[in-house]
Structure 1
Amino acid sequence: MAARRTEIVLEHTRTGEGPPLVLLHGIGGRRAMWDPIVPLLAPHREVITIDLPGFGASPLPEGQDLRAVGIARTVADFCASIGLERPHYGGNSLGGWLSLEIAKAGRAASVTGIAPAGLWRTRVPRYTKWQVVSLYDLPKLFGPLMDPVTRITPLRLAMTANVMGKPWRTPRSVLLEDSRAMLASEAFKLTMASASGQRFADGHDIDVPITIAFGTRDVILGPGCRYRGELPEHTRWLTPRGWGHMPMYDDPKGVAAVLLDGSSVSALAA
């Protein structure tokens, strides 16, 4: 008797009208990271924000492959199960890497990567790994002191300056909620371990529009994480001024504009 296939359910939010655009967060994140952008997209796109497996409110499925290719397959399968066979994808950091894997599998109408991970030549640089791990370790170290510490503006800005290009624009409440969600995520450490030695590769034959944007203030994914050799020649490369690694609060209008343009039918010809 064939084994029964377990249905994958990922927590998500759908809003707006127009061509479907799926937004994927980075490692340790949650779908709420897109909140500043969604109202700007919703008049033009049906926006679907998803909590990745083991992050946010989504459970970690038993036996989930936490390599980028495995998470990408789970996301694409889930999207198909809710009627999204080949939507546009926008992703930040890990979410950008997943979006590229989905496009490589022929299951995306376009990809817009906001500081996508995975574009290193061989292995993730040590400075990148150290900074990402510190995002988890600092809240864990401070514990209940996170609340009073983040009330001190210079300390709060220093804690987030490697993530946001303009950290003063991110509300303190969002920082605290993001930190709690990261510490509560089932998949953070497992996903970090699974990414070791992995990278995005063999994307030359992707035939849908691809836009890649690395901000001028992104210090987590520096020059060593922006290798162009595995992507097709038609890929558009942008360097938005003032954007950090997670620019949703740095420049909501700018991020929304890049996502809308990247998921437009004219993106490939631009």
Structure 2
Amino acid sequence: MSATVSFEVTSPHGPQRVTLSYARVGRGEPLLLLHGIGHHRQAWDPVVDILATEREVIAVDLPGFGASAKLPDGLAHDLPTMNAALGALCRELELGRPHAAGNSLGGLLALELGRAKLVRSVTALSPAGFWTQAERRYAFGVLLGMRRIAERLPLPLVERLARSAAGRTALTSTIYARPARRSPEAVVAETLALKHAEGFFETLRAGRAVRFTDPVPGVPVTVAWGAKDRLLLPRQGVRAKQTIPHARLVRLPGCGHVPMNDDPALVARVILDGSRTRTTAAESAQVDAAAS
């Protein structure tokens, strides 16, 4: 069920209160799910029930997306602030060091949490940050185009398009390899989520200088890439592996940029396998010491 949680995040102007919307289901070790830019936590719906058989799943609307308000004045939508906000979220919900899985922007955020030793494992699905400048400009141009289309389409037209497989393809083929599998209701909801995302432009601006260039020592990492990703091209997965040599690199056949919809069973298995991976005793002691 949907809920909200509020907590304080430090800013140059003093502590600022942040409120996020989330859903929590299942039992087991906690697993934090982080969506991509312009999306909302419902992007994870195709895999949540599978994950919840082994994990307590917490799917969160990132600040300025879905049902979560943008960050208050004084807090930038950048990686350090997002890291601080997500760390505070975990403390407020008493998650300890959860597992983290993220897609696109969420994958980048999950990796940042791993680098800060705030999570016990990371599964990143087509994470942002492993692009060249040309690839980043291409991806941002596509995202801006998607936002403009979502803003200009009247709701009755979106609803009409979503009722047919061809219409769902027209609306979502940039992010899904199998857009006809998405339900009409989900396509309408995520088009509206993109249209009304208050944090979209500030998050995009903050990403202009982002490159993930450091390893993630002491934390098991899985990087998975859709073979048919048309937004962040699959070759970026090779760069991710070069940057994080101990990471497990997984190819997702038949999947696009948001693979949870394209092959829920495969994606859920990759996430659960990644969260079963254990660090060595020495690494665990190092991580626990760093987190304390």
Partners of 1:124 and 1:201 in 2: how far apart? Answer: 16
Equivalent of 1:237 in 245, 249, 256: 249
Please state whether the residue corresponding to 2:204 is helix, strand or coil. Answer: helix
Give identity over the alignment, percent.
Answer: 36
2:174 is aligned, of 162, 170, 192, to 162
The match for 1:74 is 85
Within the candidate set 31, 35, 38, 2:45 is matched to 35
1:9 partner SS: strand
Give the drift of 1:250: 0.8
Correspondence for 1:94: 105
**1:264 deviation in Å?**
0.6
Q: Is the 8 A contact 2:18 2:71 kept in 1?
A: yes
Using the alignment, how far apart are the partners of 1:205 and 1:194 within structure 2? Answer: 22
2:227 and 2:252 in contact (8 A); partners too: yes
**Which residue of structure 2 lines up, in the alignment, with residue 57 of structure 1?**
67
Give the structure 2 partner of residue 255 of structure 1: 267
Deviation, 1:76, is: 1.5
Residue 44 in structure 1 maps to residue 29 in structure 2: no
1:209/1:177 CA distance change after superposition, 3 Å: same
Please give the residue correspondences for 1:3-14 in structure 2 after superposition, counting only pairs within 5 Å. 5-14=15-24
Aligned length: 266
Specify the code of the residue in structure 1 equivalent to 2:271.
Answer: L
How does the TM-score come out when normalised to structure 2? 0.84
Is the contact between residue 71 and residue 77 of structure 2 (CA under 8 Å) also seen in structure 1? no
Q: Deviations over 1:40-71 (max 9, x none)?
A: 01110010000101111111231222112321
Q: Which has the higher helix share?
A: 2
Measure the CA separation in 1 of the matches of 2:66 and 2:213.
28
How is 1:92-241 mapped onto 2 (pairs within 5 angstroms)?
A: 92-122=103-133, 124-144=135-155, 145-202=157-214, 204-223=215-234, 225-226=236-237, 227-228=239-240, 231-241=243-253
2:57 corresponds to which letter in structure 1? V
Query: 1: distance between equivalents of 2:279 and 2:117?
Result: 17
Q: Mark the runs of 5 or more structure 1 residues left unpaired by the alignment.
A: none
The one-letter code of the counterpart of 1:60 is K
Once superposed, which parts of structure 1, at least 4 consecutive aligned residues long, lie more than 6 Å away? none
**How far apart, CA to CA, are the structure 1 residues paired with 2:243 and 2:128?**
13
Contact 1:91 1:114 in 2 (8 A): yes
CA distance in 2, matches of 1:243, 1:112: 16
Q: Which deviates further from its counterpart, 8-17 or 42-51?
A: 8-17
Cα offset for 1:105?
Answer: 0.8
Quick one: distance in 1 between partners of 2:60 and 2:216?
27
Q: Which structure is richer in relative contact order (CA contacts within 8 A, separation 6 or more)?
A: 1
Q: 1:24·1:96 contact (CA, 8 Å) conserved in 2?
A: yes
* Counterpart-to-counterpart distance in 2, 1:18 and 1:27: 28
1: CA distance between counterparts of 2:241 and 2:47?
30
Q: Is the 8 A contact 1:165 1:242 kept in 2?
A: yes
Quote the offset at 1:249 in angstroms. Answer: 1.6
Instruction: Tell whether the 8 Å contact from 1:92 to 1:114 is kept in structure 2 after alignment.
Output: yes
Q: Which range moves more in the overlay, 67-76 or 184-193?
A: 67-76
| Larger strand fraction of residues | 2
| 1:16 aligns with one of 19, 26, 30 | 26
Shift of 1:73: 2.0
Q: Distance in 2 between matches of 1:85 and 1:122?
A: 36
Residue aligning to 2:287? none
Q: Is the 8 A contact 1:125 1:224 kept in 2?
A: no
1:139 Cα offset (Å) = 1.6
5+ unaligned residues in a row in structure 2: which ranges?
Answer: 1-12, 281-292
SS at match of 2:144: helix
